[in-house]
Structure 1
Amino acid sequence: MELGRDSDTGGQVKYVVELARALAATAGVHRVDLLTRQISCPDVDWTYGEPVEMLERLSSGGADDDDGDESGGAGAYIVRLPCGPRDQYIPKEELWPHIPEFVDRALSHVTNVARALGEQLQPPPSDAPATALAAPVWPYVIHGHYADAAEVAANLASALNVPMVMTGHSLGRNKLEQLLKLGRMHGPEIQGTYKIARRIEAEETGLDTAEMVVTSTKQEIEEQWGLYDGFDLMVERKLRVRQRRGVSSLGRYMPRMAVIPPGMDFSFVDTQDTADGDGADLQMLIDPVKANKALPPIWSEVLRFFTNPHKPMILALSRPDPKKNVTTLLKAYGESRKLRELANLTLILGNRDDIDDMAGGGGTVLTAVLKLIDRYDLYGQVAYPKHHKQTDVPHIYRLAAKTKGSVHQPGSCRAVRPQAAAYGLPVVATKNGGPVDILKALHNGLLVDPHSAEAITGALLSLLADKGQWLESRRNGLRNIHRFSWPHHCRLYLSHVAAYCDHPSPHQRLRVPGVPAASPSMGGGDSLSDSLRGLSLQISVDASSDLNAGDSAALIMDALRRRPAADRREGSGRALGFAPGRRQSLLVVAVDCYGDDGKPDVEQLKKAIDAAMSAGDGAGGRQGYVLSTGMTIPEAAETLKACGADPAGFDALICSSGAEICYPWKELTADEEYSGHVAFRWPGDHVKTVVPRLGKAEDAQASDLAVDVSAGSLHCHAYAATDASKVKKVDSIRQALRMRGFRCNLVYTRACTRLNVIPLSASRPRALRVPVDTVGHRPRQGGGARRRDRGHRPREAPPGAAQDADPAGDGLARQRAARPRRGRVRHAGRRGHGLPQHRHAR
C-alpha cells in the first residue's frame, strides 16, 4: 500500500483493508466487498484501474485459521467503481459532486452480486418451475468509513433495507475545532480548502441512518461525536432505557455507539526477535560485517543520518499533514539539550521525490521540518528518509525497539499504539481522541498535550532516561497486545452488529427477477438504468408474521400481496385500458410552477407539460412520463386536468416532495408498497406538533406556521407558512429536530408557502428510482419552468441541481427476511476513492 502518498492515503486506508481481510477470514462471513473509486490515471499505479481485486486472507498471525468458514467463503475483494472523470486522481475534498454517481454504480454492483450469490448459494429446488428464480442474497450490513463513504452507505442502506454501520475515523467538527485552535486558517479559508460544512453534513446524514457507530474509545463518543446535532449521549441513554423497559421512544432515535478496539495484523511481528531485544548488541545489528544475517535496507536508510546510531531512537511515523503537529515534536527536541544528548529522532513522513511537487500541505510541512532542523542545528541527530514501503514499517519499529527507543504519536491514528506495543516500544501519545482508552488498556506509555513542547519533552525524558519505567511499559504492552488482534476485533464487531442492527420497522421483501435479454433497439450504455434494466420491485409489508419462517413466510407475503377486488379503490379500473409496459425511456417533468400566492401557475405548467409531451411524439409508446412535484396527489391530478393533460397518461406521479408515489393509470391513491418502505424511522404524529414550535421565529404568531391538514398525508406533515420572514430556514429546523432525536427530511414548496416534513428515506430523487427501475429505462429530466421547491438541496450543490436533490436516488425497497445472519459485509471505502495498490492474489 502506498501510505503517506498524500493526505488521502493515511492509516485509515490500511485499517479498512486489513478489516476487510480479517472479516473474510471470520467464521460465518461468506464475502466482503470493499467499494472504492476506480482511477485510470498515468500518475498512479495501474492497479487503481482494476475493476476487481481479490485480497488474500490474513495469515495465522492476523486471524484465527481455526475459525475459518468451513463452507469456503468467497473472500474479500476491492471493487473499484467509476465515479467522476476516470483519468483523474481527485482529492477527497473535490469528490462531493460525484457521490450520487458512486451510489448509483454501487447499487448496481450490489444488485448484480446479490442475484449471482442467490443463484450460487440458494438455487431453486429441482421440482420448482423453470421460471422460478433464486432469492437474492443481500448484504448483512453496509459499513461506511469516513464522511463521504458514510453518506454513500446511508443511501445504499436506505435503498436496500440493510442495516448501516459507520466509522468516522477523523471527524469534521473535531478537525474544524483543531484548525481554529491552531489559528493558521480562518473559517472561510477552512471551508474553501476542506469543504468542511459539506463533510460535517455527510457525517450528520450518516448518524441519521446508522444503527451503530464504531469508535475506538469512550472519549471519542463523549468529546467528538458529542459535538454533532445527530447524537446526544444523554438522549441516547434515556432512549436505551425506554427501549429496555418496553416504553415507546415517541418517534425519537439515536444510533448506538460501540467501542471496539482497533485490530492489528501480527503476521509481520518477529516474536523471537522482540523477546531477545533487551540483551542484543546494537553494534551487531547495525554493522553488516558483524551481523549474522542480512539487515533490512530501510535500516541503512535511517541510520545513515545519525552521527551516533547507538542512541535510543524517538520514532514519529505519520503523514506530512499539519494536523499531525510534527513541528511541535521537532521544537521540543531542538529546545531540549538533554533530550538531544540522550536520543536520536526519526521522522517517517510519507514518501516524496521533490518537496515542490508534493500535494496538499505536505510540501509545507516538510519545508517547515527542514527549516527547524537547520534552526536548531540538528544535523546528525534527525533522520527523515524520502521513501519507505509498507513492508518496511515493521522493520522500522524493530530498529527503534533495538535501540530501546520510544514512539511519539501526536495524531489520533488508531493503529500506531498497538503496533508499537507489539514491538515492545513505549508510546508518548496525544491525550485527545483514541489514545486515551487505548493506553488505558495497554499501559505502555504516557499521554500529553500535543501542542505543548514542554509536556512532550518531559514525557520522552521520563521514558528514555528511566530504564525501569521503559521496561515496565514494554512488558505491559507485550502482555496486553492480544486485546487488539483482528480476530478479537471481528468477533466483537459481529456480535455488536447482531445485537444493535435490528430496528423495529415492518418486515419487507424485495424480489429481483432475472434480467431478460436486451432489445437491439434499446442500445447500449453504462448508466445505472442500463445495468438495472428489468429490475422490478415488489414490496410487501407484514407487521406481525415471522419472516424467518422460510417458505411459509413467503406464502403469507404472496397472499397479502393479492388484494381482493372489493378492496380496490374506485380508480383501479384504469389499469384495464392502459399499462406502461416496458419503456425505453422516461421523461421526468420535475417542475413546480407557482405564483407568489403559492397557487399553481397553470399557464407556465401547461407550457412545460406540452413541451415534455411533444418530446415524446413519434415514440410509439416507448417513452413514458413521470410528474415529480411537491403537491399532494389530488392537487397534482387537478392541476394536470386544468392544464388539459390526463393524469392517467403518466406512468407515475411523485407527490408530496417524494413522500408518495401514485400510478394514475391504475388508481389515484398512494402506492402502499412505497409507503411501507419510507416508513423507516418515521416519527409520525410525535413530530407533528414539534415542528411549528421549533420552526417559528421568536416574534412569530401561531398562524405563521400552522398544520395544514388538507395537504398532509400518512407520511407527509404539511404546514402553511403565511409569512416567510417569520419562519426559520430548513437547516435550522432540521438541526433542532436532530438534537431531539427526530429524523426527517424537510422541504419548502409552493413558493415557500408550504413546509413538507417527510420521512428520512423519502425524497423526489429517491422516489424516482421506483418507476425507473420498474420499467427499465434511461431517465431524462424535462420541463423548464420556475422551480420553487427549496430546502432539500444539498449544501454546496452545483448550480442547476435538481430540487429535492440528495446524495442519491435510492427508492429501492428493503429486504430483511432473506438476509442471512452472517452473509456479506459490504464496506464503502474510506472515500469512494482509489485505495492504494495491493499486490495480492487475484
Structure 2
Amino acid sequence: MNVGLNLLHLHLHGLFRSHDLELGRDADTGGQTLYVLELVRSLAARAEVDHVEVVTRLIQDRRVSADYARAEEFIAPGASIRRLSFGPKRYLRKEQLWPHLDELADQLVVQLQARDRRPDWIHAHYADAGYVGALVSRRLGLPLVFTGHSLGREKLRRLLAAGGDREQIEQTYSISRRIDAEELALAHADLVITSTRQERDHQYSRYGRFHSDRADVVPPGVDARRFHPRSTPQESADVSAMMQSFLREPQRPPLLAICRADRRKNIPALVEAFGRSSVLRERHNLVLVLGNRDDSRQMDRQQREVFQQIFDLVDRYDLYGSVAYPKHHRRDQVPAIYRWAAERGGLFVNPALTEPFGLTLLEAAASGLPMVATDDGGPRDIHRRCDNGLLVDVTDRESLQDGLERAGSDGGRWRRWSDNGVEAVSRHYSWDAHVCSYLALMQGRLSTSAAAVKLLERPVAQANPLGDRLLLLDLDTSLEQPDAEALQALRHQLSASPGRSMGPGLGIITGRSLAAARQRFTELQLPEPSVWITQAGTEIHYGQEDQSDRLWAAEIGVDWQREGVERALADLGDHITLQAADNQGPFKVSYLLRQPGPAVLPLIRQRLRQQHQAARPNLRCHWYLDVLPLRASRSEAMRFLSLRWALPLDRFLVVASQQGDLELVQGLPAAVIPSDHDPCLDGCRQLQRVYFADRARLSGVLEGLQHYRFLSARARVDQSSM
C-alpha cells in the first residue's frame, strides 16, 4: 500500500492559529501567516498527503489569546499545529527570537528522532525558520524547502535608500543575523520557492549561497470561495456602517489600502499624495484598513509612529470627512471590504517600498477591484499576467500622485481592468494550481544527504564511548595555565567518578591538532578523555584512537574546498596572515589578525560568499581566525556526538569563557561561564541553562560542576531550571 506524504512546516514568529488570524496586529502577523495556513489546509486536502504539521512557538502571555498556549491544535483533517516553548514564555517580536532558536532546533531534533515516521521534508518560512530548518535538515538528513517571504538584503537596501542609518537598522532589525540565517538556509536548501521571477532573479541572486538551479517560482493561490466579485446587500451595508462615522460622501470611489501599520508599507506617503491632490480629494475617499487597534500603548513603537504620521497628515491637509481609518474589522470582513470598494468604482492601492509578492493585490483583483501598486517585486508579475491597473514609483511623490489620478480618470478602462483581474486570478492564481506545482516540485527534486543517512543508520551494536553524561573542557582556555590547587581538585573529582558508560565522561575541545593536544594534556595528569574534538571542531577522535570519525568528516566535507578558501582570501594580507603549517588542518584554514577585533569579519564573509565557498569564519580570543566548513563547528560536533551515540544534549556540560564561545552555550546543553569571561558572553544571562560562576578560570569550572552536581550520581544537568 502506498504511504502518503508526511510534511513539516516551520513558521516561528507572530501569532499563528487555525482560526481568526490576527492579521495586522503587528509587523510579525501578516501575509506570511495567512499563506502558511491556507497552504497547509490545501495540502491536507490532497489525496497524496497523509499529514501536514506546522511547528510554531508556544506563548504564555496575558497580553495575547490563550489559544497560543495550547501545545497542539487541529486545523483540518490531516493538518495540525504543534507549539514548542523556547526562550521566555512571553510574546516576542521576531528580532528578539535569535538567541533562542538553537533551543528550538535541539528540541525539534529530539522530537523527530522519537517518531516512528519522520517528515518527508521540512518547509521553512522566513529567515528564523530557515535557520532552524537548516540545522534540523543537517542533523537528521531531511530535505529542506525554504521560502524567505521577504529578504534581509532587500530590506536593508530599501531602508538605506530611504535614508536609514545602518547602525540603527542593525539595532532595530538584527539585519546581519537575518542575512546570515538566510545564507545558511540557502546553503542547505534542496529547493527554494519564490513567488515571482523578480524575487528569484534579482533579490535571491544577491546571496552568495543561492543556487538558481534549486529555485522555482510558484505564485501563491487565492481562495475563490472567499474572494470573488459577487457581493450581498447585507455585507455591503455592514462595511458602509463601518465607514459611516468617517466619510461625508461615502458613495465616492474609495482609494483602499489594507496592510499593517509598518514603515515599509509607506502609508503616510499615500495620505500625503491624497492630501496634496485637489483632483483626488474631489473625486475619491481614502480608506485605510491597518489592522485592529484598541489601546495605542499596547502597539509597538513603529506602529505608533506610523499612526501618528497619518493623524498629523490628516490634520495638516484637513482631510476629515474624506479619510476613514476604522479601529476594528474581522478577518472574515476583508473580502466584503474589497467588494464594497469595487461596487463604488474604487482602486486598491499598495504603496509599499518593497513587496516580495503582494497577496492582497490578488485578493483585490479576484474581487473585481483594480490596483495602483509599487513598481517593485511581486506586483510586476501580477501586472504582467493580470493587466488590471498601474504600477508606479512610490518613492517619487509626484509619480504616486499622478498614477492615482490617471487610474481613476477613465470609467471604461476601470471596467476592463476589473474584468481582467477576475479572469486572470482564476486562470493563474488558484490554490489548486499552486499546490499541484508545489507537490510536483518537491517529489521531483528533493533527496536526502547520503552522509546523513549513513549517520542515522549507524550500527546499534556499537558501545557508547562517552559515558552517561559528558563534560567538555576547552584545552586552550579552561585548562590553559590552571591554578595548581584547582587542577588538583579537578584531578581528584574526575578520578573519583565512575567514568565511561557507568558515569560521566570527559571530552576535550581544542583548536590544536590531536597530537599537539595529547602532548599538552599529558602535562595536566588528568584521566584519559573519552572523546577529543580537535582542530576547532573539524575532527573527532575517541579515547586512544588516532583515526578520526569518518562519518563526521563526510558530513562536514560537503562542498568544502580548502584551496578555494585560501584563494578567496589571498589578497587580504593587510588584515590577516596564515598561521604556521602545524596549526592548519584538512578542514581548517587558520589565520592571525594583524589588528585584533571583529571588524574584518564582514569583509571575510563577503569574500567567501562572492567566491561561493561553503565556509564560515570563526574568531577566537580577538586574534585567532579559523575558516571552517559551513557545516562544522564545535557546537555541531557536540550535536553530532549526541546523535551518533544517542546521548541526549541535556546530558552535556560545556564551559565557555572567550570570544567565539557563544555557539557552545545556546540550545539544550548546560553551560558554565567563569567570572573572568569575555564581555561578549554577558548577553547569555537570559538563557536558562547557563550558570555564571563567581570564581574565575578553572575554579569557576569547579563551581559549575558543584552547581550541577555533574560528577555525582545525582547530576541535575538534565533539569531545565538552573
TM-score, structure 2 normalization = 0.81
- The offset of 1:740, in angstroms, is 1.4
The amino acid that maps onto 1:654 is: I
The amino acid that maps onto 1:421 is: A
Q: Distance in 2 between matches of 1:706 and 1:592?
A: 16
1:760 matched residue in structure 2: 630
Q: Distance in 1 between matches of 2:186 and 2:310?
A: 38
1:224 matched residue in structure 2: 203
**3-state SS, counterpart of residue 757 of structure 1:** strand
1:400 matched residue in structure 2: 341
Does the 8 Å contact 2:53/2:81 carry over to 1? yes
Q: Say whether 1:49 aligns with 2:69.
A: yes
The amino acid that maps onto 1:485 is: S
2:120 matched residue in structure 1: 140
Q: Distance in 2 between matches of 1:789 and 1:506?
A: 30
Does the 8 Å contact 1:695/1:705 carry over to 2? no
1:485 matched residue in structure 2: 430
1:744 matched residue in structure 2: 615
Does the 8 Å contact 1:660/1:670 carry over to 2? yes
1:121 matched residue in structure 2: none
1:451-462 equivalent positions in 2, closer than 5 A: 451-462=395-406
Q: Distance in 2 between matches of 1:722 and 1:605?
A: 29
The amino acid that maps onto 1:146 is: Y
- The offset of 1:371, in angstroms, is 1.9
1:626 matched residue in structure 2: 507
Q: Distance in 2 between matches of 1:56 and 1:454?
A: 48
The amino acid that maps onto 1:151 is: Y
1:153 matched residue in structure 2: 133
Q: Distance in 1 between matches of 2:621 and 2:241?
A: 71
**3-state SS, counterpart of residue 547 of structure 2:** strand
Does the 8 Å contact 1:696/1:726 carry over to 2? no
- The offset of 1:431, in angstroms, is 0.4
Select 2:392's aligned residue among 448, 451, 466: 448
- The offset of 1:394, in angstroms, is 0.9
- Using a 3 Å threshold, how does the CA distance of structure 1 residues 356 and 722 change in structure 2: closer, same or farther? closer
The amino acid that maps onto 1:678 is: I
Q: Deviations over 1:746-767 (max 9, x none)?
A: 33569846x5433221111111
Q: Say whether 1:781 aligns with 2:649.
A: no
Does the 8 Å contact 1:150/1:206 carry over to 2? yes
1:96 matched residue in structure 2: 98
Structure 2 stretches lacking a partner, 5+ long: 1-20, 667-677, 688-722
- Using a 3 Å threshold, how does the CA distance of structure 1 residues 198 and 748 change in structure 2: closer, same or farther? closer
1:111-122 equivalent positions in 2, closer than 5 A: 111-112=113-114, 115=115, 118=116
Select 1:672's aligned residue among 550, 570, 576: 550
2:419 matched residue in structure 1: 475
Select 1:263's aligned residue among 212, 221, 227: 221
Q: Distance in 2 between matches of 1:403 and 1:76?
A: 39
Q: Distance in 2 between matches of 1:19 and 1:444?
A: 25
Select 1:604's aligned residue among 465, 482, 486: 482
- The offset of 1:198, in angstroms, is 2.0
Q: Deviations over 1:39-63 (max 9, x none)?
A: 0111100000011112126xxxxxx
TM-score, structure 1 normalization = 0.70
Structure 1 stretches lacking a partner, 5+ long: 58-74, 119-136, 241-255, 275-284, 286-290, 511-536, 541-557, 563-574, 595-600, 806-842
Q: Distance in 2 between matches of 1:748 and 1:454?
A: 49
Does the 8 Å contact 1:357/1:363 carry over to 2? no
The amino acid that maps onto 1:34 is: V
Does the 8 Å contact 1:746/1:791 carry over to 2? no
Select 1:108's aligned residue among 103, 110, 121: 110
Q: Say whether 1:693 aligns with 2:570.
A: yes
Q: Distance in 2 between matches of 1:369 and 1:345?
A: 12
Select 1:162's aligned residue among 142, 157, 169: 142
Q: Distance in 1 between matches of 2:411 and 2:550?
A: 72
2:256 matched residue in structure 1: 315
Q: Say whether 1:344 aligns with 2:324.
A: no
**3-state SS, counterpart of residue 159 of structure 2:** helix
Q: Distance in 2 between matches of 1:783 and 1:12?
A: 39
**3-state SS, counterpart of residue 81 of structure 2:** strand
The amino acid that maps onto 1:738 is: R
Percent identity over paired residues: 33
Q: Distance in 2 between matches of 1:203 and 1:590?
A: 30
Q: Distance in 1 between matches of 2:173 and 2:569?
A: 35
Q: Distance in 1 between matches of 2:612 and 2:494?
A: 46
- The offset of 1:461, in angstroms, is 2.8
- Using a 3 Å threshold, how does the CA distance of structure 1 residues 21 and 109 change in structure 2: closer, same or farther? farther
- The offset of 1:354, in angstroms, is 2.6
Does the 8 Å contact 1:602/1:642 carry over to 2? no
Q: Deviations over 1:215-251 (max 9, x none)?
A: 22222234422333434xxxx57xx6xxxxxxxxxxx
Does the 8 Å contact 1:146/1:168 carry over to 2? yes
The amino acid that maps onto 1:464 is: G
Q: Deviations over 1:184-210 (max 9, x none)?
A: x42222222222222222222222222
- The offset of 1:332, in angstroms, is 1.3
- The offset of 1:591, in angstroms, is 4.2
Select 1:732's aligned residue among 587, 591, 603: 603
Q: Distance in 2 between matches of 1:268 and 1:353?
A: 27
Does the 8 Å contact 2:622/2:659 carry over to 1? yes
Q: Deviations over 1:512-551 (max 9, x none)?
A: xxxxxxxxxxxxxxxxxxxxxxxxx6556xxxxxxxxxxx
Q: Say whether 1:640 aligns with 2:521.
A: yes
**3-state SS, counterpart of residue 560 of structure 2:** coil
1:798-837 equivalent positions in 2, closer than 5 A: 799=681
Q: Distance in 2 between matches of 1:198 and 1:722?
A: 23
Q: Distance in 2 between matches of 1:151 and 1:19?
A: 21
Select 1:85's aligned residue among 80, 84, 88: 88
Q: Distance in 2 between matches of 1:397 and 1:611?
A: 74
1:201-600 equivalent positions in 2, closer than 5 A: 201-231=180-210, 256-270=214-228, 273=230, 297-411=238-352, 412=355, 414-482=358-426, 483-502=428-447, 506=450, 508-509=452-453, 538-539=456-457, 580=465, 583=468, 585-593=469-477
1:712 matched residue in structure 2: 585
Q: Deviations over 1:737-789 (max 9, x none)?
A: 11111111333569846x543322111111112333425353453557x7476
**3-state SS, counterpart of residue 268 of structure 1:** coil
Does the 8 Å contact 2:568/2:607 carry over to 1? no
Q: Distance in 2 between matches of 1:617 and 1:423?
A: 76
Q: Distance in 2 between matches of 1:608 and 1:430?
A: 66
- Using a 3 Å threshold, how does the CA distance of structure 1 residues 108 and 315 change in structure 2: closer, same or farther? same
- Using a 3 Å threshold, how does the CA distance of structure 1 residues 40 and 615 change in structure 2: closer, same or farther? farther
- The offset of 1:3, in angstroms, is 0.9
Q: Say whether 1:2 aligns with 2:48.
A: no
Q: Distance in 2 between matches of 1:354 and 1:787?
A: 45
**3-state SS, counterpart of residue 197 of structure 1:** helix
Q: Deviations over 1:551-603 (max 9, x none)?
A: xxxxxxx7xx99xxxxxxxxxxxx9xx964751x3212134149xxxxxx864
Deviates more, 1:619-628 or 1:325-334: 619-628
- Using a 3 Å threshold, how does the CA distance of structure 1 residues 357 and 771 change in structure 2: closer, same or farther? closer
Does the 8 Å contact 1:312/1:404 carry over to 2? yes
Q: Distance in 2 between matches of 1:29 and 1:304?
A: 48
The amino acid that maps onto 1:207 is: L
Q: Distance in 2 between matches of 1:452 and 1:458?
A: 10
- Using a 3 Å threshold, how does the CA distance of structure 1 residues 614 and 304 change in structure 2: closer, same or farther? farther
- The offset of 1:464, in angstroms, is 2.2
- Using a 3 Å threshold, how does the CA distance of structure 1 residues 619 and 148 change in structure 2: closer, same or farther? same
- The offset of 1:604, in angstroms, is 2.9
- Using a 3 Å threshold, how does the CA distance of structure 1 residues 190 and 691 change in structure 2: closer, same or farther? closer
Q: Deviations over 1:472-506 (max 9, x none)?
A: 11111111113112221122223333444347x53
| Number of residues of Structure 1 aligned to a counterpart in Structure 2 | 645
